[in-house]
């Protein structure tokens, strides 16, 4: 049975100095890294399910109240149950999808970083890279309640989400620099290049839709 020491180590890996110690002292394999991802993904999956469940309960409450006041109250109550159950079902599907997709995306993401690091002369193996990177992702998963529910806090929700997306860049940079023995510039390129490419790809994909919207308006 897992004690709290393991998830706390994952969270501490988000602190650069702690991450350096983990890289220096701990040893593991790709399988160990995947175990970290699978186990820790339970928490964000549960958070997403709870969000959908709350939305479903709100639908039940609102439509149920409206239904009790309306002439066709029975029909409205029936629909509220249908919609509420739909949200709960969507929450289950999303939770399962998170637990399935996280390991897959982790393998792909670490694979891209490892390949780029190798191109720039990196010395670390993919197994080592993935094992240490799993601590960072698992740490973010443990903080999922703060990230997911914090998003709904007025005024600071978007700030919390931005920090959750932006901050991991630095631990990954430190990880790549240390595991692959790269200099600062090369390590930064390895981390930033995939992000830049994804942003450019997203912009290019959005251009036709934006052009279509303006074409319709004009």
Question: For residue range 30-81, what is the model confidence (pLDDT) as tens digits?
Answer: 999 999 999 999 999 999 999 888 887 877 777 655 555 454 444 554 555 5
Would you give the DSSP letter of residue 34? Answer: H
Going by pLDDT thresholds of 50, 70 and 90, the confidence category of residue 162 is: confident
pLDDT exceeds 50 at position 1: no
Please determine, for residue 20, whether its predicted confidence score (pLDDT) is greater than 60.
yes
Q: Which pLDDT score is estimated for 214?
A: 67
For residues 70 and 106, which has the higher predicted lDDT (pLDDT)? 106
pLDDT tier for residue 139 given thresholds of 50, 70 and 90: very high
Q: What is the pLDDT of residue 81?
A: 53
Q: How many CB atoms lie within 10 A of CB 50?
A: 15
Taking 70 as the threshold, does the pLDDT of residue 153 lie above it? yes
- Greater pLDDT, 61 or 25: 25
- As a whole-number percent, the residues of the chain with pLDDT over 90 amount to 55
pTM comes to 0.81
Q: List pLDDT tens digits, range 108-138.
A: 999 999 999 999 999 999 999 999 999 999 9
Q: What pLDDT score was predicted for residue 161?
A: 80
Can you give the residue ranges of every domain in the chain? Answer: 5-217
Q: For residue 103, what pLDDT band results from cuts at 50, 70 and 90?
A: very high
CA distances from 153 to 44, 58, 146, 149, 159 (A): 18, 17, 10, 7, 10
As given in the structure block, the two tokens for residue 60 are 């039940």
Q: Is the dihedral of CA 33, 36, 39, 41 positive or negative?
A: negative
- So what's the pLDDT on residue 68? 54
pLDDT, mean of residues 16-36: 92
Cite the DSSP H helix spans in the chain: 5-12, 16-25, 30-40, 42-69, 73-119, 126-142, 144-150, 157-166, 169-179, 184-217
C-beta of residue 32 within 8 angstroms of C-beta of residue 131? yes
Provide the angle, in degrees to the nearest 10, between the axes of the packed helices 5-12 and 126-142.
100
Mean residue pLDDT of the chain comes to 85
CA 96, 153, 19, 8: dihedral to nearest 10 degrees? -70
């Amino acid at each position: 049975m897992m004690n709290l020491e393991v998830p706390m180590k994952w969270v501490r890996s988000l602190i650069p100095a702690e991450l350096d110690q983990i890289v220096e002292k701990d040893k593991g394999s790709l399988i160990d890294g995947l175990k970290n991802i699978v186990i820790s993904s339970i928490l964000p999956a549960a958070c997403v399910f709870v969000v959908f469940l709350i939305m479903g309960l709100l639908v039940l409450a609102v439509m149920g109240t409206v239904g009790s006041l309306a002439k066709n109250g029975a029909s409205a109550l029936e629909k509220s149950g249908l919609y509420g159950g739909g949200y709960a079902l969507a929450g289950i599907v999303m939770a399962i999808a998170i637990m399935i997709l996280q390991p897959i995306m982790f393998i792909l993401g670490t694979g891209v970083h490892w390949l780029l690091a190798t191109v720039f002369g990196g010395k670390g193996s993919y197994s080592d890279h993935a094992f240490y990177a799993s601590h960072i992702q698992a740490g973010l998963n443990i903080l999922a309640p703060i990230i997911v529910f914090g998003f709904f806090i007025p005024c600071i929700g978007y700030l919390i989400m931005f920090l959750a997306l932006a901050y991991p860049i630095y631990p990954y940079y430190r990880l790549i620099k240390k595991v692959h023995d790269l200099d600062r510039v090369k390590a930064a390129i390895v981390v930033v290049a995939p992000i830049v490419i994804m942003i450019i790809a997203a912009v290019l994909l959005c251009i036709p839709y934006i052009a279509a919207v303006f074409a319709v308006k004009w």
